[in-house]
Structure 1
Amino acid sequence: SLEKNKELISIVGTLLNAASIEEGKFGYHLEGAALETEVAETVEEEQQ
């Protein structure tokens, strides 16, 4: 079914990401964030 295919694609993507991280091929882009603002926005979105 379509849902099973989507689930398998997600699992494969997760495994590929894990393999990339283990090989050191995963790129990071770190940036500053206002934690209080991020949390407040997330809580507000979840309450809707």
Structure 2
Amino acid sequence: FHDTVEALQADLDPWLVHYNTERPHLGYRNMGRWPIETVRSFVSQEG
């Protein structure tokens, strides 16, 4: 357990980076891409 919000955030930050940029997602919108790739694709289409 964490004693402070800051301690919790320090543990969550690396996990969020891994989750969003280092592993593919199999959902139909991501089609095996990393979530950050899906976001970048959407942003480039919106232009």
Q: TM-score range by the shorter chain?
A: 0.3 to 0.5
**Which protein has the bigger helix share?**
1
Instruction: State the TM-score, normalizing by the size of structure 1.
Output: 0.36
